[in-house]
């Protein structure tokens, strides 16, 4: 088999595996613009479920555990926005 010239010179046509696009910021859902909506809906649903659990007097988990999971859910969204602004914008948001 013939090698590929250039940066893939160590690859052979039959065995070279090129990297697969994992989505913006390596988030699988962000392979196109609809992923933002999907992530928004998922985060909103998860937060609503956790708030419902936190306000349920018959919950099975400790309130601190539910709040910890709710905090993680909200921070994932905030972290994604921060990562996007650092990675994709010319200058960071103020």
Distances (CA, A) of 83 to 24, 63, 67: 10, 30, 24
* Nearest CA among 11, 70, 17 for reference residue 44: 70
Domain extents in the chain: 24-88
Write the pLDDT tens digit of every residue in 63-91. Answer: 999 999 999 999 888 887 777 777 777 66
Q: Do 24 and 30 form a contact (C-beta atoms < 8 A)?
A: yes
Q: Which positions ≥6 away from 86 have C-beta within 8 Å?
A: 92
Write the pLDDT tens digit of every residue in 13-53. Answer: 445 555 566 776 677 777 777 878 888 899 999 999 999 99
């Amino acid at each position: 088999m013939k090698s590929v010239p250039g940066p893939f010179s160590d690859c052979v046509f039959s065995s070279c595996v090129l990297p697969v696009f994992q989505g913006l910021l390596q988030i699988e859902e962000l392979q196109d613009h609809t992923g933002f909506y999907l992530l928004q809906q998922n985060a909103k649903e998860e937060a609503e479920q956790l708030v419902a659990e936190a306000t349920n007097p018959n919950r099975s988990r400790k309130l601190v555990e539910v709040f910890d999971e709710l905090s993680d859910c909200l921070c994932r969204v905030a972290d994604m926005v921060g990562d996007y602004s650092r990675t994709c914008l010319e200058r960071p948001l103020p």
